[in-house]
Amino acid sequence: MRLDKYLKVSRIIKRRTVAKEIADKGRISINGKVAKSSSDVALGDELTIVFGNKTLTVKVQGLNEITKKEAAGDMYTVVSETYKESY
């Protein structure tokens, strides 16, 4: 499944266009390698996403084409969530 679609379906990022923009700016990596929006996501992959002052690392648990809002959280597990301090 494409990275931008996975992020939207899993509801990590609410809109696919936003997921595409973030990926194309080099702020998402898959297993430590910078990923483009068209990169393939597989089960067990570790995604690291940088949102401004927040860095989120998740492990892919499911690759559903469509999912209900309540089940979206089952598609991944959060490995770490860190915040940069701003002064």
In sequence order, what are the beta bridge partners of 56? 49, 81
Distance of CA 46 to the CA centre of its chain: 9
Phi, psi of 23 (to 5 degrees): -65, -45
**Helix, coil or strand: residue 70:** helix
Q: What is the DSSP letter of 14?
A: S
Q: What percent of the chain has pLDDT over 70?
A: 98
User: Is the pTM higher than 0.75?
Assistant: yes
Query: What tokens were used for 76?
Result: 């991944």
**Residue 82 φ then ψ, to 5°:** -120, 150
In the chain, what are the domains?
Answer: 3-83 (3.10.290.10)
The pLDDT tens digits of the residues spanning 20-36 come to 999 999 999 999 999 99
